[in-house]
Amino acid sequence: MIEALNIPPVLVYLIGAALIPLMGRGRARKALLVAVAVIGLACAFSLRSQTSWVVPISGFELVFLHADRLSLIMGYIFSFIGAAAIIYSLDVVRDTGEYICGLLYLGSALGAVFAGDFFTLYVFWEIMAFSSLGLIWYSRTERAKNAGMRYIIFHLFGGCAFLAGIIIHFMNTGDIAIGPVEHGIGYLLLLIGVGVNTAFIPLHTWLPDSYPKATIAGAVFMSVYTTKTGVYVLARTFPGAEVFILGHPFHFVAYMGGLMALYGVIFALMQNDVRKLLSYHIVSQVGYMVAGIGIGTAIGINGGIAHVFNHILYKALLFMCMGAVIYRTGKMNLTELGGLAKKMPVTTIACVIAALSISGVVGFNGYISKGMIIHAAELSHMHILALALMLGSVGTFLSFLKLTYFTFFRRTDAEAVADVKEAPLSMLVAMSVTAFFCVAIGVYPKMLYMILPYVDVAMHYDAYAPGHTAGTLQLLAMTAFMFVALKVLIAPHERVTYDIDYLYRKAGRGIIWFCEKPLMAFANAIDGVLKRIADSLVWFSKNPAAASVILLTTTSTRLMRPYTSKEAEVKQLKTIEEPRERLSIGTGVLLVLLFFLLYLVVMLIHGWLAP
Amino acid sequence: MMMDKRIVISLVAILVLAAPFIIRSHTHASFWWQEIPLFYALAGFIVSVLLISVASGLCHWLNRAENYYERGDVL
């Protein structure tokens, strides 16, 4: 019976979002949220590979449910973590609007991964951008308001590039089914559009800017969907993408992934705000996925998608733990935190599990997928990429040692953490379930292999090859040792760091200045000229006969100025001071008739010239 | 207590460092550098020092007061 279900999961969440406002703020709302989470989960897990819900609209076939192995695995993890995030937010979130935004966001992300054509994808893509904006703005702070504005500007830019790319692709091929795109300007625009969502370096700044300012539960949602939907679209349209630079093909996407992995960790190491540190790690981890997909081989794409799956688990878990810490202490900077291990033991254990997972420690889920991507890079002889990804994992471990040490284990006598309680039950349930899966997949990776896009290739990958295991252990053990030795150097401090966003802000301020100053002056000048023309026309039309006489007199006086005496000129000009008579109605009618005549002549000439 | 910790840590360290000699890998190394004994420990050392120094160096160069961006403007 379950097999027969083929409802697009997006519907469940949209209906849920519509029903939420009717439920008040009490138990009924909680019951509905849990029901939506469970039904959504059941919907996603009962889907089978198929194409249905095809809606023809004005010549286009919009496909709302296109399920294959790639979209199914995304559907599983999206709906699973959606359920966890909903349960996490039950005790924290008060605003009904925030739940609506959360459900719309989660639903449209599922809509996007099950969309069968570019237009449906684009619509869900934009709903995601706007509903996630709500999750930032519900913090109701000035910083959140401004950060949200910057966030949406960035995403509108990306969305426009994406739409332009889609339209060009459609004009070239007449096909709107999602798939690889032909080279050309549309290709680049689509890559930029996807690049904004997947946080390609120079386009990543919205991410560490806005996520730390989102609401506690909002950040958990946001850490999951936007970037991973981007990775999914990348896997659909740009697997192994090459960009021609000076006529040479270049694995642009793969190396961009390597760059992101490194850039993210270096900036993460410098952060003080816990959620900003995590946000830079999203950039870094998405870099691994982008690298896997950019390599483009079966094992590369498998690795990238496996990393999406694992990353969603541990990154949502990290945001949940840090959300719990912020919820209980009200502090979000490492300098103000410390010694929470005894006060929040469950949160601490969950956070340590997530930190070990993201660092790729043997036995946790991050180890499986990260290893797969590095292995794929080695097989494709991309030595520099493999090295960059390895460097990245050292940096990841360093910054998570920093995060967990300074939040939970460092001794502190700060008042903020003096009498802190463990997180509320709903948070603990969500964190424990997610942490369980982080470990379970690490211990029994076949569970994940079974649902990967290329299942045969995945089953042949040996995550626990002795050489790889020993190498990883050495690398991480040495990193831990170096952290203990050098932790003074990367200890948190009360400063913020620039990123490329500094340039964007400068440029943005420049554009605003340009609009306000030179552009406005230009507009005012034109406005003035037009006003004067209009004024003089009004003056002239009051009494055209008298006005023309006045004009004639003034002009002739001016022209004759060199040849006449001063007295004569004054005398001449005196005549125009005479009060002007109004014309009779008859003259007015005559003028109108004359205009009509002129119009007739123009029409006749026009008709004669252009038959 | 302190002594116990140190003993445990050094035991772990010895085990980890000895692992590649105890477990013989049958997989063919993809790059020449993977055949260097203790390559990964060495890499971990070098990379950690590199990343920490780059990060703390950049930090000096790029840092601003905590409320630097909070002037009430969008940009």
Q: Is the pLDDT of residue A140 over 80?
A: yes
8 Å CB contact between A124 and A108: yes
A2 CB contacts (<8 Å, ≥6 apart)?
Answer: A42, A46
Helix-strand-coil split of chain A, %, nearest 5: 75, 5, 20
Q: Note the ipTM here.
A: 0.75
Question: What is the per-residue pLDDT across A142-169, written as a single tens digit (0 to 9) for each?
Answer: 888 888 999 999 999 999 999 999 999 9
Mean pLDDT of A498-510: 84
- Residue A579's pLDDT is what? 46
- Residue A52's pLDDT is what? 79
Q: Is the pLDDT of residue A1 over 60?
A: no
Distance from CA of A486 to the nearest CA of B (A): 8
**C-beta atoms of A477 and B12 within 8 A:** yes
Q: How confident is the model at residue A571 (pLDDT cuts 50, 70, 90)?
A: confident
One-letter amino acid of A177: A
Nearest to B16 among A383, A467, A473 (CB): A473
Q: How confident is the model at residue A194 (pLDDT cuts 50, 70, 90)?
A: very high
Alpha helical stretches, state H, B1-75: 2-22, 39-62
Residue A580 in tokens = 């002007």
Does B73 fall in a domain?
no
The residue to which tokens 């469950």 are assigned: A346
Query: What's the DSSP call for residue A515?
Result: I
Mean pLDDT of A502-516: 87
Interface test with A, best of B30, B50, B52, B58 (most A CBs within 10 A): B52
Structural domain harbouring B39? 2-62
Does B67 fall in a domain?
no
Does B25 fall in a domain?
yes
Mean pLDDT across chain A: 87
Q: How confident is the model at residue A110 (pLDDT cuts 50, 70, 90)?
A: very high
**C-beta atoms of B44 and A474 within 8 A:** yes
How is A64-99 classified by DSSP, letter by letter? EEEE-HHHHHHHHHHHHHHHHHHHHHTTT---HHHH
Q: Is the pLDDT of residue B25 over 60?
A: no
The residue to which tokens 């209980």 are assigned: A328
Nearest to A496 among B53, B66, B72 (CB): B66
One-letter amino acid of B41: A
Q: Is the pLDDT of residue B36 over 70?
A: no
Nearest residue to B55 (alpha-carbon basis) of A385, A483, A334, A412: A483
Work out whether the CA dihedral A104, A110, A113, A115 comes out positive or negative: negative
Q: Is the pLDDT of residue A481 over 90?
A: no
Q: How confident is the model at residue A593 (pLDDT cuts 50, 70, 90)?
A: very high
Rounded Cα gap, residues A264 and A208, in angstroms: 10
CB pairs under 8 A between A and B: 147
Q: Is the pLDDT of residue A491 over 50?
A: yes
8 Å CB contact between A280 and A264: yes
One-letter amino acid of A531: K
Read off φ and ψ for residue A547, nearest 5 degrees.
-60, -40
One-letter amino acid of A409: F
A471 to chain B: closest CA residue: B40
Longest Cα separation, chain A: 113
8 Å CB contact between A280 and A268: yes
Q: How confident is the model at residue A2 (pLDDT cuts 50, 70, 90)?
A: very low
Mean pLDDT of B15-29: 59
Read off φ and ψ for residue A90, nearest 5 degrees.
-55, -40
A408 CB contacts (<8 Å, ≥6 apart)?
Answer: A338, A339, A340, A341, A344, A348, A351, A352
Q: How confident is the model at residue B37 (pLDDT cuts 50, 70, 90)?
A: low
How is A418-467 classified by DSSP, letter by letter? TTPPPPPHHHHHHHHHHHHHHHHHHH-THHHHTTSSSHHHHHT--TT-HH
The residue to which tokens 């709500």 are assigned: A134
Nearest to A495 among B26, B66, B70 (CB): B66
Question: What is the per-residue pLDDT across A24-35, written as a single tens digit (0 to 9) for each?
Answer: 888 888 999 999
Rounded to a whole number, what is the distance in angstroms from the first to the last CA of chain A?
A: 72
Question: What is the per-residue pLDDT across A353-366, written as a single tens digit (0 to 9) for each?
Answer: 999 999 988 889 99
CA distances from A122 to A58, A101, A308, A408 (A): 17, 18, 21, 42
Q: Which residue has the higher pLDDT, A72 or B17?
A: A72
**C-beta atoms of B44 and A379 within 8 A:** no
Beta bridge partners, A60, equal: A57
Distance from CA of A258 to the nearest CA of B (A): 15
- Residue A468's pLDDT is what? 79
Residue A477 in tokens = 């053990």
Q: Residue-wise over A282-316: b if at least 16 C-beta within 10 A, else e? A: bbbbbbbbbbbbbbbbbbbbbbbbbbbbbbbbbbb
8 Å CB contact between A328 and A421: yes
B5 inside 8 A of chain A by CB: no
Question: What is the per-residue pLDDT across A398-428, written as a single tens digit (0 to 9) for each?
Answer: 989 999 998 888 887 777 677 888 888 999 9
Q: Is the pLDDT of residue B20 over 70?
A: no
Q: What percent of chain B has pLDDT over 70?
A: 49
Rounded Cα gap, residues A237 and A228, in angstroms: 14
Q: Is the pLDDT of residue A197 over 80?
A: yes
Nearest to A509 among B27, B39, B75 (CB): B75
Q: How confident is the model at residue A88 (pLDDT cuts 50, 70, 90)?
A: very high
B32 inside 8 A of chain A by CB: no
Q: Is the pLDDT of residue A243 over 80?
A: no
Distance from CA of B1 to the nearest CA of A (A): 17
Q: Is the pLDDT of residue A431 over 90?
A: yes
Mean pLDDT of A459-467: 81
3-state secondary structure of B73: coil
Q: Is the pLDDT of residue B28 over 60?
A: no
Read off φ and ψ for residue A283, nearest 5 degrees.
-55, -45
Q: Is the pLDDT of residue A461 over 60?
A: yes
Number of structural domains found in chain B? 1
How is A106-137 classified by DSSP, letter by letter? HHHHHHHHT--BHHHHHHHHHHHHHHHHHHHH
Q: Which residue has the higher pLDDT, A493 or A438?
A: A438
8 Å CB contact between B49 and A482: yes
A204 CB contacts (<8 Å, ≥6 apart)?
Answer: A260, A263, A283, A500
Distance from CA of B21 to the nearest CA of A (A): 10
Question: What is the per-residue pLDDT across A284-310, written as a single tens digit (0 to 9) for each?
Answer: 999 999 999 999 888 899 999 999 999
Nearest to A473 among B19, B48, B63 (CB): B19
The alpha carbon of residue A581 and the mean position of all alpha carbons in its chain are separated, in whole angstroms, by 69
Does B15 fall in a domain?
yes
Task: Tell me which H or E stretch contains A583.
Answer: none
Rounded Cα gap, residues A164 and A186, in angstroms: 7
Q: What percent of chain A has pLDDT over 90?
A: 43
Q: Which residue has the higher pLDDT, A583 or A13?
A: A13
Domain ranges of chain A: 1-238, 245-493, 500-541, 543-580, 581-611
Contacts of A467 in chain B (CB under 8 A): 20, 23, 25-27, 29, 34
Rounded Cα gap, residues A415 and A419, in angstroms: 8
Count CB atoms within 10 A of the CB of residue A416. 15
Q: What percent of chain A has pLDDT over 70?
A: 97
Count CB atoms within 10 A of the CB of residue A410. 17
Question: What is the per-residue pLDDT across A53-73, written as a single tens digit (0 to 9) for each?
Answer: 888 888 888 888 888 889 999
Question: What is the per-residue pLDDT across A313-336, written as a single tens digit (0 to 9) for each?
Answer: 999 999 999 999 999 888 888 888
Nearest to B52 among A490, A494, A499 (CB): A490
Contacts of A146 in chain B (CB under 8 A): 72-74
